[in-house]
Amino acid sequence: MPAKRDPKALIHEVLTKEAAHMSLDEAVTDFPVARINAKPPNLSYSFWHILEHIRIAQWDLLEYVQNPEHTSPGWPEGYWPAPDATTDAAGWKRTIAAIKKDLGRMDRLLADPRVDIFAPVPFANDKSVVRCAFLALDHDAYHLGEFAILRQVMQLWPKKRKP
């Protein structure tokens, strides 16, 4: 049996290292800016909408366990941009930067020695920090996988990319 590892170190590794799934950077690298607002067939949302949804949900989960005054957005409208909302290259970059920034905030929160990541947070319906972190990571991986598959469906991967 392998030696026990510090759970905070293990969570940090999951947050910061590529593992069995695609990273955000890999999913968005060389994405054609002209297609960020494109909606794949039979969908009401665009590639940017997916990333913005990841950003909003991740931010909400982080605030939920840190800010007793936080009110979560209404579902589903508060977690997705309006169906007709679009962005430009700068907005695309801001969304990606915000996702990364909040992942960094989550990593710092989980690593903070003053935070018992397993303890119920009273103002968060007794949910723990680690539960919300796992939920955010699971949600991110789900939608990044969706993003990658839709990118393939729309033939938006660079020709030089290795599968």
Chain position carrying tokens 């994405």:
31
Q: What is d(CA 31, CA 120) in angstroms, rounded to the nearest whole number? A: 40
pLDDT in tens, 29-82: 999 999 999 999 999 999 999 999 999 999 999 999 999 999 999 999 999 999
Q: What is d(CA 92, CA 49) in angstroms, rounded to the nearest whole number? A: 10
Q: What is d(CA 21, CA 54) in angstroms, rounded to the nearest whole number? A: 16
Per-residue confidence (pLDDT) for residue 78, from 0 to 100: 97
Q: Bin 91: left if φ > 0, else alpha if -120 < ψ < 50, else beta.
A: alpha
Q: Is the pLDDT confidence value at 12 over 90?
A: no
Specify whether the CB–CB gap between 38 and 147 falls below 8 A. no
Residue type, 30: D
- What is the CATH T-level fold of the domain 7-153, as seen in this structure? Four Helix Bundle (Hemerythrin (Met), subunit A) (1.20.120)
For the segment 7-27, the average pLDDT, to the nearest whole number, is 78
DSSP state string for 73-90: PPTTGGGS--TT----HH
Q: What is d(CA 57, CA 7) in angstroms, rounded to the nearest whole number? A: 24
pLDDT in tens, 74-109: 999 999 999 999 999 999 999 999 999 999 999 999
pTM: 0.90
For the segment 140-145, the average pLDDT, to the nearest whole number, is 95
Can you give the residue ranges of every domain in the chain? 7-153
Per-residue confidence (pLDDT) for residue 2, from 0 to 100: 58
Q: What is d(CA 10, CA 43) in angstroms, rounded to the nearest whole number? A: 36
Query: Where is 121: in which H helix or E strand?
Result: strand 120-121
Higher pLDDT, 161 or 160: 160
